[in-house]
Structure 1
């Protein structure tokens, strides 16, 4: 079920990234100069890449979990940057707020789901979770 949830969530950056890479600023219904349009297309390509990476990670979370953790951190950092824009510039249109929800809500929730499922699997295999393992649980060495 987790794999399906990650793949459904990955459809958002896959579709939005492809649309932005192809359509540029017009995808957002905006008029932009060449520099802004170029930058948006570049960032859309990165978004498309994040979606592809999430889809790939979902196929084998046991082996690709560290990559998934890095992916989630990158998405959350982007969400924090977007949130700073909301604080500094005001409320953006609804699609951007929905993206913010994906970046700071859905994506970290999927990571937490994976970590909890992984912890349950380790406990079932005979490994006991200990408070001292918190650093490792959060992705540390």
Structure 2
């Protein structure tokens, strides 16, 4: 696959997957625990904490989107954001072990956090390396 096509495909995938934290984060900021079909009343601290974390999740989605235009040059940011997601996935895995299996949507989140996101990091690094080689070759070739 040509480097430019692979880069474009990565950009499209990251842009689409960014919709997950953006939509889930926004919905949970607005709805609070009701987003999870929790029955009110719920503890005020739970509401506050969940809305805070959802705001952070929304921000992570925005930050991933900011990587899309020059994704081959945003490796550090991409890896930092990915590390945050993987750490969240590890916390979700701990919850699974301690509290039991969550709903299918949260199990899907766990797969995204601990499998898909690390694969995206490898893919981003590959695209960056390929673009770097292509750029170096273009600078060396006589015009």
- Shorter-chain TM-score tier: 0.7 to 0.9
Of residues 18, 33, 36 in structure 2, which corresponds to 1:25? Answer: 33
Relative to structure 1, is the Cα distance of residues 115 and 51 closer, same or farther in structure 2, using a 3 angstrom cutoff?
same
- How do 1:29-108 residues align onto structure 2 when only pairs under 5 Å count? 29-31=37-39, 32-108=42-118
Q: Distance in 1 between matches of 2:68 and 2:62?
A: 10
Q: Distance in 2 between matches of 1:107 and 1:7?
A: 13
Greater RCO structure (CA 8 Å; 6+ sep)? 2
- Normalised by the size of structure 2, how large is the TM-score? 0.82
Greater mean alpha carbon deviation, residues 90-99 or residues 56-65: 56-65
Q: Which structure 1 residue ranges, 4+ long, deviate > 6 Å from structure 2?
A: none
Q: Which sections of structure 1, spanning at least 5 residues, go unmatched?
A: 128-141
- Normalised by the size of structure 1, how large is the TM-score? 0.84
Q: Distance in 2 between matches of 1:81 and 1:90?
A: 13
Q: Which sections of structure 2, spanning at least 5 residues, go unmatched?
A: 1-8, 138-143
**Structure (1 or 2) with the larger CA radius of gyration:** 2
- How do 1:105-116 residues align onto structure 2 when only pairs under 5 Å count? 105-116=115-126
Q: Is the 8 A contact 2:75 2:128 kept in 1?
A: no
Partner of 1:134: none
